[in-house]
Amino acid sequence: MIIANEEQLEDVLSRPNEADAAAMAAMRGDLLLLGVAGKMGPSLARRARRACEAAGVSKRIVGVARFSNPGARRQLEDWGVETIAADLLEPEALAGLPDFENVVHMAARKFGSTGAESLTWAMNCYLPGRVAERFRHSRIVAFSSGNVYPLSPLRQGGPVETAPLAPVGEYGVTALGRERIFEHFSRTNGTPMTILRLNYAIDLRYGVLLDVGRKVFERRPVNLEMGHANVIWQGDANSICLRSFALAQSPPFVLNLTGPETISIRWTAGRFAERFGIEPQFEGEEAETALLNNAARCHRLFGYPSVSVEEMIEWVADWIGMGRATLNKPTHFEARDGKF
């Protein structure tokens, strides 16, 4: 399959499967998505809407964001998703939101953290506390990050959920802070929660594979110092998010969320090079450690992702070759110092 344009891409990303429809049918109450205008939010909201339609159930699907891009808000509303414009750091914004039984917390900050650390702390640690208090009677699924883990030896296959947490850099520390704040209020208020430690979601317009593929296509050297990574198709990550409400508990249920493979960046660049007919260029050497995430528990619960790494590479290569639009948001996955 070739994904030829953004309309088709959005359709593929948000197309629900039977498990999504069953999850939405079983979900009691409506769904609120905080920070819906980010990279994953729009397709997640649309997937929830379409899953409700497939299941024949009626629910409100509501997305909250500042919506600095009005087009993003119009698109969501065209898809049948209600929207509320709000700056969640404003004192009255959360208080003014309606009550919802189910909340996805996606509002966070990573890139641009260096030089604006205080805002990152506010978004990643202060805001979760306010959200947890405001929706203390809800079920909450909160996105976290594999950056809560240290760089791990390749031979160990990545940390599982019970591994020691030792984030590298200030962003990673705030990601751990977010988890600890949610855990505190879950324990204090009895709020059922699921925390998803995500490494790295892939769309054709952003992601590790796009970063590597563009460098190969543009004949720029691919840095190998962070020589391995985990990736998962964004549609699969969103599907697991919807289904993980059933796991919510107090204290929070923690789940690593990524693909089953530890991919080699050198190998990935080579696959793109074959597609493009280009000799890849490299700089640096692979370290014996990388930022990894072992999602065996996730795959035992939900099955393996529907889109393989090979398929993602093919789709991304075609997208690059056709000159399609990107979000111009590099992942900076190469960073070993935790500075983003």
* Structure-model confidence comparison of residues 338 and 134, the more confident one: 134
pLDDT tens per residue across span 99-111 = 999 999 999 987 6
pLDDT tens per residue across span 15-40 = 999 999 999 999 999 999 999 999 99
Say whether pLDDT at 113 is over 80: no
Say whether pLDDT at 91 is over 70: yes
Question: What token pair was written down for 160?
Answer: 């599982």
Question: What is the C-alpha to C-alpha distance for residues 329 and 332, in angstroms, rounded to an integer?
Answer: 9
Say whether pLDDT at 90 is over 70: yes
Q: What is the pLDDT of residue 111?
A: 65
Q: Which of 170-179, 223-232, 262-271, 327-336 has the lowest mean pLDDT?
A: 327-336
Q: What is the pLDDT of residue 62?
A: 98
pTM strictly above 0.85: yes
pLDDT tens per residue across span 313-339 = 999 999 999 999 999 888 989 988 888
Structure confidence at residue 303 as a pLDDT band (50, 70, 90)? very high
- Structural domains present in the chain: 6-198+234-258+294-301 (3.40.50.720)
Q: What is the pLDDT of residue 340?
A: 77
Q: What is the pLDDT of residue 85?
A: 97
Q: What is the pLDDT of residue 109?
A: 84
Say whether pLDDT at 238 is over 70: yes
Mean pLDDT (whole number) for 232-247: 98
Cα–chain center distance at 148: 14
Mean pLDDT (whole number) for 129-158: 96
> Residue 327: which residues within 8 A CB-CB, separation 6 or more?
39, 203, 205, 206
The mean pLDDT of the chain is 96
pLDDT tens per residue across span 242-258 = 999 999 999 999 999 99
